[in-house]
Structure 1
């Protein structure tokens, strides 16, 4: 039983390390959450419970490891990846294959969901700056070229 555990941990870490930054944490969280959810679900409800548990665990693990703004996308990716990986792995390699599939799918799905959320945020910020709607750090009163202030009453002289 030690060999499958070592294999699961290695696959989960390798899958999570394929990306950089918080994508790594989302991937590792999705992998570990998917495996733990699959194990608990297998004990409670057989193969269907294993799939449901892998999905829930992958979603929770990915959301915990993801960036604050991208938790929803990472959770969806981790859930779909872990559940799908569990189903495919179970058909190929039995219950151990289901655990390996849940780890691989949860890690890849969580990292990909976090990455897609990050790139969507970047696109939105770029669009705002390009269109001229970026008002961060600017005052409401625009400078129209006439610097009045202390020269306000220049006609009265």
Structure 2
């Protein structure tokens, strides 16, 4: 590779990190960017431009999933894979092999970070709904079977002792 290609590739990786933002999003973005570039390089050597796109997708998905939070791995993998594959194809059309590598880095980084962020937002919505149900705000279904024993309801069983 020429020195300009290495410089552009480093710039692409740094851009992928800059797009990531956020705490868990940064790791998913870096993972998606690195995975997309490495997958693109391996795929290019095995199967040309088509192999590069497939390799970028697989590598971006793996990298995004590795870098994401525990509950967001699926979303980050989908985002990183789609972003890296799409970035590789578009970059390859615009700037050849080097453009494909830069596109895979940018797309994989942005896709992994966006997927991780989407998973966080989705989890926050679920938590909001759960806390609403936990408070029984507008629920008329709540009752305690008339015993009014509070937290003793489940633990103590009251038995009737017959005196013989």
**What TM-score does the superposition give when structure 1 sets the normalisation length?**
0.82
Q: Is the 8 A contact 2:12 2:103 kept in 1?
A: no
* 1:61-76 alignment runs, 5 A limit: 61-76=63-78
Q: What secondary structure does 2:115 align onto? A: helix
Where does structure 2 lack aligned partners over 5 or more consecutive residues?
Answer: 137-143, 153-164
Among residues 100, 103, 107, which one is paired with 1:101 in the alignment? 103
Q: Is the 8 A contact 1:28 1:107 kept in 2?
A: yes
Residue 90 of structure 1 deviates from its aligned partner by 0.5
* 1:1-157 alignment runs, 5 A limit: 1-18=2-19, 19-132=21-134, 144=148
Task: Show CA shifts across 1:110-134 (max 9, x none).
Answer: 0000000011001100111012269
Task: Show CA shifts across 1:76-118 (max 9, x none).
Answer: 0000000000000011111111111000000000000000001
Q: Is the 8 A contact 2:29 2:111 kept in 1?
A: yes
Q: Distance in 1 between matches of 2:95 and 2:151?
A: 76
Q: After alignment, is 88-97 or 10-19 more displaced?
A: 10-19
Residue 22 of structure 1 deviates from its aligned partner by 1.1
Aligned residues: 141
Q: Is the 8 A contact 1:16 1:26 kept in 2?
A: no
Residue 74 of structure 1 deviates from its aligned partner by 0.1
Q: What secondary structure does 1:102 align onto? A: helix
